[in-house]
Amino acid sequence: MNKKIIYIVLVALSIISAKTVNAQKRAEKKSDPLIIWDDKPAKTWMTEAYPMGNGRFGGMVFGGLAQEHIQFNEISLWTGDESETGAYQAFGDLFVNFKGKDTSMAIPANYRRQLDISKAIQQIAYADGGVAYKREYFCSFPDKVMVLHFTADKKGAYSAIIGLKDAHGSKVTANGTALQIEGKLENGLAYNASIVVKTEGGTATVESDGKGGTQLNINQANGFTVLLSAATDYSNKREQHWRGEAPGIKVKQNLDAASAKTFLQLFNNHLLDYKSLFGRVAINLGTTPAPIAAEPTYKRVIDYKKAADPQLEALLYQYGRYLLISSSRKGGLPANLQGLWNESNNPPWRSDYHSNINIQMNYWLAEPTNLSECHIPYLDYINSMREVKKESTQKEYPGVRGWTVKTENNIFGGSSFLWNTPGSAWYAQGIWEHYAFTRDKQYLQSFAYPVLKEIVEFWDDHLKHRPDGTLVSPLGWSPEHGPTEDGVTYDQEIIYDLFTNYIEAADVLGADKTYRDHVDDMKEHLLKPKIGKWGQLQEWETDRDDPKDTHRHSSNLFGLHPGRRISTIKTPELAQAAKVSLLARGDVSTGWSMAWKMNFWARLQDGDHAYKILNNFITLAGGSGVNYNEGGGVYANLFCAHPPFQIDGNFGYTAGVTEMLVQSQTNEIQLLPALPKAWWSGNVQGLRARGDFEITNMEWRNGKIAKLTIKSLAGGVCNLRSPNALKNNIAGLTGSQENADFKYSFKTQVGQLYSFSAVN
């Protein structure tokens, strides 16, 4: 056995053995920085239940004493079609009702419900009546099942009724000891979710639930395992009318295969898969005082306002990565407004794919935090939409080539709420970024370049030519306020970004020289960003920005982030104007808006201001409505509160922290570009930079780089910008100084590591 396997087996054994877990051990675990936990079951779905998922389906866990409740989803369960937007749907609920217990039961003092994001496992442990109970849940990508494992330290401890509920009302049917729900939505989309239950000791019988359906009755089992799988017949192929394999067949295959494995085998497969992604990045922003680190997570969020808790900041950082791995895996759909977790058939904003910031923000973290594979569902989604979007674009803008999108989008190409003309150009940024980080030329050639080109062609045909040669986007709308008019900065800057990306792509491939030069010419003629009368970066061509406008969108700053036109180094005047605008917008807003502002301040190289916003972001949000004025922040389960729950803020937070530590949008790797004083010493491993570099290790002390190792994965020249002088023994390296920064440039070899340390 190699070391890795031994480690996994040891970890697994330590998790599954109920006997080894006593109150003492649990107390010791409390300081583990990658655990979100609570001392009571969840009362509410949105704010307290903990999420898990395998990119396709997932659940929200309540961890009740008398009843376990897991509300579950499958990411393709959508109403609507090519013309109706529809909404992402709830799928169903799994209930385990423990016999002889009721809701009046007091919560045992040693109750603990936790989500360990380093392993993507949820655990619930408590003692009741002298019996130690333990539940362990995870959602496996390799085995395509959700696994719920119930154990106790006394034989025959479990007597329970297990039931399923379909959120669309079908009756539960049985097949052996499997229960299933299946049906069709109004658009004909077929779905199936089934569970199989394996008991250890005792009996398990299928019986009527008294309401025309079926349930499972377990008596005096020592323990049991529930395997759940869910699917629909959605396919992302338009030529197949968005339908594929029958869901019941897939679900049965998944359950048959998983049933043949032991819990330990399933867990090992899951851990190996999950760690291969999650384990790539580690971060240390400082150590939290032990008494605070030992508190339940919701309490830490409250106490955050009183005392520093860098481990909570790091936990929230890694949580964004956990949520992306859990809701966006190869072969599936991209994370929607709620990732994949949704309890309603009429969710806020349909839990859809919004194209004017939200879906894009969901993926800002993917490449820099070393989760490039999790980016693929978004790229596949864009690909699957192309043909239907070409048709709808034709109807709206007859005669144009290419395509664009409206603001609200479903999984069948249907959309609603106003045209967002630069929407596809913003998608194109994600397409380009995947290449910029991976240098995958085959991907660039076969997919990225053709898509970039067709989106460029849309603008080639749609841009308005003014008599003086200036090019403006006609009748745009700056999300989501102000008039509809020509030359809105949001449109102009996204088009500029698109053209820049297209030109670079064409240069890499040596493709379409004439057309590339034409695009370059169009780029030069685009209406340029303007600085207005109070020094702000104008949102519209007319200088009408209101310094009192605190609207959540800051779309006029696209060129600063996620665009790369504006930077403190290359365009200091525009950067200064962006700063003026940003100061006027204020530091408090909805969840995703604050996350975006962290990214803006990081790009402005103002770490302390980015950190101020980060502080505002980590505010325990109350309420359960959609009232923006209740204030954004996070809930007890660390879901981002728009409010209501919206996952873009979680992803945007992780992207923002990354931007504070490393940036690479200006052809150089900037180390610690926006380090706040609060993180004066720390380290991070595994971040990625454009050019296919991995910052294998970066340690800093007192705001200066102490140690640095960079791995080159594609060869090429590496340009570094450091806040302090660095030592190295790299042949041919050139160094220079610019203002307070130290710059280094050197040729790299594929697979080589390059190490630096501080000059004392």
Q: Which residues are within 8 A (CB) of 662 and not within 5 positions of it... i.e. 6 or more apart?
A: 368, 669, 670, 671, 672, 673, 684, 687, 689, 695, 698
Smaller CB separation from ligand FUC, 357 or 374: 357
Smaller CB separation from ligand FUC, 338 or 665: 338
> Does position 337 bind ligand FUC by CB under 6 A?
yes
Q: Minimal distance in Å, beta carbon 462 to ligand FUC?
A: 22
Q: Minimal distance in Å, beta carbon 309 to ligand FUC?
A: 27
Three-state SS for 472-529 is ECCCEECCCCCCEECCCHHHHHHHHHHHHHHHHHHHHHCCCHHHHHHHHHHHHHECCC
Smaller CB separation from ligand FUC, 224 or 592: 592
Residue 138 to residue 53: CA distance in whole angstroms: 8
| Residue with the shortest CB distance to ligand FUC | 349
Q: Minimal distance in Å, beta carbon 354 to ligand FUC?
A: 4
Q: Which residues are within 8 A (CB) of 181 and not within 5 positions of it... i.e. 6 or more apart?
A: 92, 164, 165, 166, 170, 171, 172, 173, 191, 192, 193, 194
> Does position 409 bind ligand FUC by CB under 6 A?
no
**Near ligand FUC by CB under 6 A, which window of 233-241, 307-315, 350-358, 667-675?**
350-358
Are the CB atoms for 144 and 138 separated by under 8 Å?
no
Smaller CB separation from ligand FUC, 626 or 717: 626
Q: Minimal distance in Å, beta carbon 92 to ligand FUC?
A: 25
Smaller CB separation from ligand FUC, 80 or 247: 80
- The three-point CA angle 40-647-135 to 5° equals 30
Of 479, 671, 502, 637, nearest in space to 558 by CA: 479
Smaller CB separation from ligand FUC, 600 or 611: 600
Smaller CB separation from ligand FUC, 409 or 748: 409
Dihedral class, residue 442 (left if φ above 0, else alpha if ψ from -120 to 50, else beta): alpha
Beta bridge partners of 471: 465, 526
Q: Minimal distance in Å, beta carbon 426 to ligand FUC?
A: 13
Are the CB atoms for 358 and 649 separated by under 8 Å?
no
Smaller CB separation from ligand FUC, 372 or 421: 421
Residue 226 to residue 164: CA distance in whole angstroms: 12
Structure tokens at 69: 């409740």
Smaller CB separation from ligand FUC, 529 or 649: 649
Smaller CB separation from ligand FUC, 553 or 597: 553
3-class state of residue 435 by DSSP: helix
List binders of ligand FUC among 479-518 (CB under 6 A).
Answer: 480
> Does position 552 bind ligand FUC by CB under 6 A?
yes
Of the CA atoms within 13 Å of residue 373, those in its CB half-sphere come to 13
Q: Which residue in 356, 369, 637, 663 binds ligand FUC (CB under 6 A)?
A: 356
> Does position 358 bind ligand FUC by CB under 6 A?
yes
**Near ligand FUC by CB under 6 A, which window of 156-164, 348-356, 523-531, 707-715?**
348-356
Number of residues that bind ligand FUC (CB under 6 A): 12
Structure tokens at 18: 């109920």
Q: Which residue in 270, 354, 585, 721 binds ligand FUC (CB under 6 A)?
A: 354
> Does position 349 bind ligand FUC by CB under 6 A?
yes
Q: Which residue in 134, 168, 642, 688 binds ligand FUC (CB under 6 A)?
A: 642
**How many angstroms separate the most distant Cα atoms in the chain?**
86
Q: Minimal distance in Å, beta carbon 352 to ligand FUC?
A: 8
Any idea how long the chain is? 760
List binders of ligand FUC among 685-724 (CB under 6 A).
Answer: none
Amino acid at 32: D
Smaller CB separation from ligand FUC, 191 or 419: 419
Residue 228 to residue 252: CA distance in whole angstroms: 10
Q: Which residues are within 8 A (CB) of 64 and not within 5 positions of it... i.e. 6 or more apart?
A: 41, 42
Structure tokens at 353: 């794919």
* Per-position x/- string for 155-174, each x denoting binding to ligand FUC as judged by CB under 6 A, each - no binding: --------------------
Of 45, 137, 119, nearest in space to 325 by CA: 119
Structure tokens at 138: 């995870």
Q: Minimal distance in Å, beta carbon 75 to ligand FUC?
A: 17
Smaller CB separation from ligand FUC, 150 or 349: 349
Q: Minimal distance in Å, beta carbon 347 to ligand FUC?
A: 10
Residue tagged 């302390």 (tokens)? 608
List binders of ligand FUC among 22-81 (CB under 6 A).
Answer: none
> Does position 549 bind ligand FUC by CB under 6 A?
no
Smaller CB separation from ligand FUC, 45 or 353: 353
Smaller CB separation from ligand FUC, 342 or 590: 590
Q: Minimal distance in Å, beta carbon 395 to ligand FUC?
A: 23
Smaller CB separation from ligand FUC, 64 or 649: 649
Q: Which residue in 297, 409, 590, 748 binds ligand FUC (CB under 6 A)?
A: 590
CB-based burial of residue 174 (10 Å sphere; 0-12 exposed, 13-18 middle, 19+ buried)? middle
Q: Minimal distance in Å, beta carbon 596 to ligand FUC?
A: 11
Q: Which residues are within 8 A (CB) of 143 and not within 5 positions of it... i.e. 6 or more apart?
A: 254, 257, 258, 261, 266, 269, 270
Q: Minimal distance in Å, beta carbon 349 to ligand FUC?
A: 4
Q: Minimal distance in Å, beta carbon 686 to ligand FUC?
A: 30
Residue 82 to residue 571: CA distance in whole angstroms: 43
**Near ligand FUC by CB under 6 A, which window of 31-39, 328-336, 353-361, 728-736?**
353-361
Residue 381 to residue 333: CA distance in whole angstroms: 6
Of 326, 413, 312, nearest in space to 362 by CA: 326
Are the CB atoms for 755 and 709 separated by under 8 Å?
yes
> Does position 119 bind ligand FUC by CB under 6 A?
no
**Near ligand FUC by CB under 6 A, which window of 161-169, 351-359, 505-513, 618-626?**
351-359
Q: Which residues are within 8 A (CB) of 303 and not within 5 positions of it... i.e. 6 or more apart?
A: 292, 295, 309
Q: Minimal distance in Å, beta carbon 477 to ligand FUC?
A: 11
Q: Minimal distance in Å, beta carbon 222 to ligand FUC?
A: 47
> Does position 350 bind ligand FUC by CB under 6 A?
no
Smaller CB separation from ligand FUC, 356 or 429: 356
* Per-position x/- string for 646-665, each x denoting binding to ligand FUC as judged by CB under 6 A, each - no binding: x-------------------
Smaller CB separation from ligand FUC, 462 or 553: 553
Q: Minimal distance in Å, beta carbon 12 to ligand FUC?
A: 40
> Does position 555 bind ligand FUC by CB under 6 A?
no
Of 78, 40, 72, nearest in space to 57 by CA: 72
Of 192, 224, 259, 206, nearest in space to 57 by CA: 192
* Residues near ligand FUC (CB under 6 A): 337, 349, 354, 356, 358, 480, 552-553, 590, 592, 642, 646
